[in-house]
Chain A
Amino acid sequence: MKARIHITLKQGVLDPQGKAIGHALGQLGFSGVGEVRQGKYIEVELAETDRARATAAAEDMCRKLLANTVIEDFKVEVIG
């Protein structure tokens, strides 16, 4: 199975990179661009056939390494 993991900054945590991207989009002529937030996307292949166990393992990986939960939230989706 494969875990698709999205890691994003928590609400309220400033994201200067997102802000710079938003600014650049405006300069390229894209109008109506609101707030831009940047995150990470990670795919992890898992030797697991049980969806619940795969999800639990991926969430544990997020808490221990993939995300810093002081500033980041994570979302795990298991496919396959």
Chain B
Amino acid sequence: MRAAVIVFPGSNCDRDVAVALEHAMGRAPQMIWHADTALPALDLIVIPGGFSYGDYLRSGAMAAHSPIMREVVARAKKGTPLLGICNGFQVLTEAGLLPGVLMRNAGLKFVCRDVDLIVERAAAPFTDNYRKGQVVRFAIANMDGNYFADAATLDRLEGEGRVAFRYVSNPNGSAHDIAGIVNEAGNVLGMMPHPERLADKALGGEDGKAMFNGLATALTA
């Protein structure tokens, strides 16, 4: 399995997710700088958490128009699995790969803690190692995690089973308690919680490990 992590100025979870991927895949992912314009052959692309471009203009807005994103969008449209975590989710909505937008948290505070999530979608390539309805614990750490989309979009996401994770106790005002969604084809997942931050017993939990192990299984031909 060949994976790449896209690194923007201001990314800060790129190395955490690289470690989680390496543990699952048995080899390190390639780290790709945002100014690059080409990608090698890949089975998975990850856009990590952080504060790309200092959250200037809107979270994820500048990164969504970085040189490498043209190629990332093209690969995703061809079906390459693409995972956006936290700022990565914000980048994916700004790039138009996922509907809606992540707004300022309703409580106007940066929220940094472990949260319980209900797995709403247990499907390859991201979440087939979980059971639908299972409660898992991941960490959140964001200022803009308040998912918003118009009523028609929310209905569509619900009707098509595209809500991947929902908060047990809504920490930020997200519509329909949404913590993560997939695109229509199911190959793009955006989520605010960080599976890589609880993917090892030494970190205080390993519910996130199943996602990386599942990806390694699903994407290793």
Contact = CB atoms under 8 A, between A and B. Distances in A.
B61 A16 contact: no
A66 interface: yes
A65 B106 contact: no
B148 A71 contact: yes
A65 B65 contact: yes
B157 to A, nearest CB: 14
A13 B147 CA distance: 12
Counting chain B residues whose Cβ lies within 8 A of the other chain, the interface size class is 10 to 19
Contacts of A68: 58, 61, 94, 101
Contact of B101 (A14, A16, A66, A71): A71
A16 B145 CA distance: 13
B148 A66 contact: no
A20 interface: yes
A13 B105 CA distance: 13
A16 B100 contact: no
Label chain B's interface by main secondary structure: loop
Contacts of B99: 70
B57 interface: yes
Counting chain A residues whose Cβ lies within 8 A of the other chain, the interface size class is 10 to 19
Contacts, number: 33
Interface string A38-80: 0000000000000000000000000011101011000000000
B101 A20 contact: no
A17 B104 contact: yes
Contact of A14 (B65, B93, B94, B106): B106
A16 B61 CA distance: 20
B108 A17 contact: yes
Contacts of B103: 13-14, 71
Nearest to B153: A70
A65 B69 CA distance: 14
Contacts of B65: 64-65
A13 B173 CA distance: 12
B73 to A, nearest CB: 14
Given A13-B148, A71-B101, A71-B148, A66 B108 contact: no
A43 to B, nearest CB: 14
B32 interface: no
B55 to A, nearest CB: 13
Interface of A: 13-14, 16-17, 20, 64-66, 68, 70-71
